[in-house]
Amino acid sequence: MRFLYARCSTKQQNEDRQLEAARKLGIPESQVFLDKASGKNADRPALKDMLSRLREGDEVYVTELSRLGRNTRDLLDLMETFKNKKIGIHSLSEDIDTSTPSGELVFSIFAAVATFQRQIILEAAEEGREAARKQGKPLGRPKVDADKLDYAMHLFSDDSSKSIKQICELTGLSRSTIYREAEKRSISRASVPDFNEGDGQ
C-alpha cells in the first residue's frame, strides 16, 4: 500500500504542491497524511497516525526528505524506523527509492550516522563520569545529561518504534528515569505498533 506524507508550515504554503504529487502518483486521499506545522513543532498527529497504519512492505512518498524530519536526529531516527519495519521510502525531489540498490545504500548511510551519533552521546556521558571519579567528586545519583533525556523522550513519544528496553540500551538511561521524565513532561507513548518489542518487556 502506498502513502504520502506532507507537511507545510503556516509561513510557507506548499500544501498544494505536495498534494498534487499524491494525485499524480494515484495515491487516494485516505492515504495522504498532512501536518500543518513547522518542522520544529513536536506535535505531528498526521505522521503518528500514518506510522500506526504502516505495515511491512508499504511505501511512503514525500516530496522531499525534509518533510519527514524536524532536524537531523529526527530524520535519522525515522529512517531507521522505516528500515526496521521494512517500509519503502520514496523522496521525489532527491530521487530516492529505497527499493533500489542505491536507495538501500541511503538507508545504510542513515543508519550508520544514527548509530555514530548515539555512540558520541553515550561516550561523552561516560567520559564525564570518569573525569568526576578521577577528581574524587561524589557521584551519588548522576545528573542525567539533558541531551540524553531529550533523545529518550523523542524515542518514547514520537515517531520511533523502539521498545522501552531498546530506549534504555540506546541512551544508557534506566526505565524508571525514562518513565519519571515522561510523567514530568506529561508525555505518553504514541499508539505505534512496536515491531521490536519481542522480548515481552
Q: pLDDT tens, 111-148?
A: 677 667 667 777 777 777 777 777 776 655 555 677 78
Task: With cut-offs at 50, 70 and 90, classify the pLDDT of residue 10.
Answer: low
**What span, in angstroms and rounded, lies between the C-alpha atoms of 62 and 22?**
9
pLDDT 10s digits, 49-64 = 999 999 999 999 998 8
Task: With cut-offs at 50, 70 and 90, classify the pLDDT of residue 31.
Answer: very high
**Contact yes or no for 111/78 (Cβ under 8 A):** no
**Contact yes or no for 74/154 (Cβ under 8 A):** yes
- What is the b/e burial string over 128-161, where b = at least 16 CB atoms within 10 angstroms of the residue's CB? eeeeeeeeeeeeeeeebbeebbebbbbbbbbbbb
Question: What are the grid coordinates assigned to 26, written together?
Answer: 494515484
**Residue 9 annotated to the active site:** yes
CA 136 to chain CA centroid, nearest Å? 38
Q: How far apart are the first and last CA of the chain?
A: 31
Question: Between 86 and 77, whose confidence is greater?
Answer: 86
Active-site option among 9, 52, 157, 186: 9
Residue 107 has pLDDT above 70, yes or no: no
Residue 92 has pLDDT above 60, yes or no: yes
Domains identified in the chain and CATH numbers:
2-103 (3.40.50.1390)
Residue 21 has pLDDT above 60, yes or no: yes
> What pLDDT score does 114 carry?
61
> What pLDDT score does 103 carry?
77
What is the torsional sign of CA 61, 65, 69, 70? negative
